[in-house]
Homo-oligomer: A and B are copies of this chain.
Amino acid sequence: MKIAVLGTGSGARAHIARLAGLGHEVHVGTRAPRATLARNEPDMMGTPPFGTWLAGHPGIELHTFADAAARGELVINGIDGRNAVAALSGAARQLEGKTLVDYAVPYVYDPDIEHPWPTPWGVMPTFDPCDSDSLAEQIQRALPATKVVKAFVTQEQETVVDPEAVGGGDHTMFVAGDHADAKRAATGLLTSYGWTDVLDLGPLVAARGMEMYAHLHSAIGFALGFGTRFGIKVVR
């Protein structure tokens, strides 16, 4: 299948590598491909430059957001939450009629707000939008001809693409959206990643809770020790 991954961060890279390994034709989108490839320093999180990473993953094509979206039959949004609506709006025509799986968290990092307890972040992020709206709903409103599915967001992307790495895969992934066929496509992708428990939470409004779970997810991660991989299982 032709799949577009928009974004070049560590989460996007997890999907790109896994999708290529599964035999898909992967098209990666970035704002300005030349600038992305020209970068030769790790980012502030220590992630190596994308060009370096790409050199070790032959057969992956890098395009603009719009060109990658045009080539994908299914599209994964890995653009950071602050920029997602604007960047995706610029590819609205190329995304028409397609399933867009969004895993972005609408974090606002205010460097002036120190974290109330020591964490690897040093700052206390908040969300915008939050509670009465969600990023996924904003994207759906901005792209009414696209079928937005919120998924992946309750987990590190490295574990989304490799659920067996935690508890032998015995944990739960969620999907939400207003288009049943798009949720089936996202669930099919998750099944191919190895997920056995994918819970459909209903319409896209459920994305609010999925995005807002990020605070609890972070707190659990800090409690277990930074870098510890974990998952959430809905026991019933």
Contact = CB atoms under 8 A, between A and B. Distances in A.
A233 B235 contact: yes
Interface in A163-179: 166-167, 170-171, 174, 176
Nearest to A199: B223
B205 A216 contact: no
Interface string A176-205: 100000000000000000000001111101
A230 B235 contact: yes
A120 interface: no
Interface string A202-226: 1101101110111111111011100
9 contacts: A117-B202, A130-B130, A166-B235, A176-B219, A199-B223, A201-B219, A202-B219, A229-B236, A232-B234
Counting contact residues on chain A (CB < 8 A from B), the size range is 35 or more
A209 B203 CA distance: 22
A157 interface: no
Contact of A171 (B167, B199, B223, B235): B235
Contacts of A176: 219
A231 interface: yes
A235 B230 CA distance: 5
A132 to B, nearest CB: 5
Interface in A122-173: 124, 126-127, 130-132, 154, 166-167, 170-171
Contact of A218 (B127, B203, B209, B218): B209
A228 interface: yes
Nearest to A132: B126
B220 A199 contact: yes
B210 A216 contact: yes
Contacts of A166: 235-236
